[in-house]
Amino acid sequence: MPRFMSLIRIDEQNISSQAPDPDFEKRMGALFEEITKAGVMLDTAGLTPTSQGTRLTWSGGKISHTDGPFTETKEVVGGYALLQVKDKAEALEWTRRFLEAHPEHWDVTAEVRQVEGGPSDPS
C-alpha cells in the first residue's frame, strides 16, 4: 500500500493564545485510536518551534547554517503524520478528519504528499 506524508503547516508567529476547547484532547485521542486500530497511522508527531531549529543550505558547493527562528517564513511545518493507505483519497479523508478535530479558531493547514518508492509506487 502506498504511504503518504501529511505535513501540518502552522503560522508560528500568529498562534492563537486562546486555549483549545475542553473536548479537543478527547476528539484527537478518539481519532488517533481509530486511525491506529485501522492500521493506517505509521507515525505522527509535532515538531519543536523553529526557534530551536537550524537550517542547512547547500549552495555554490558550500554548506551554510542558519539558526531559528526563521522570521522570514510565515508558515512552518509544525508536525507530520505518516499514513499507509490504499490511495490518495483515503489519505485526504484521514487528514480532513484530523484538521476537523482542531478548534474552529485555530488556523492549521495540511499538505498531503505521497512518499516515493516502495512496492506499490507506480512511478
Element (H, E) at 31: helix 24-37
Average pLDDT by stretches of 10, the chain with 123 residues: 94 77 92 95 93 92 90 85 96 96 89 84 56
Taken in order of first residue, the domains within the chain and their CATH numbers are 3-115 (3.30.70.1060)
pLDDT in tens, 45-63: 999 989 999 989 899 999 9
Counting residues of the chain whose pLDDT is more than 90, the rounded percentage is: 67
Question: What is the structure's pLDDT at 120?
Answer: 56
pTM of the model: 0.82
DSSP string over 90-123: HHHHHHHHHHHTS-TT--EEEEEEEPP-STT---
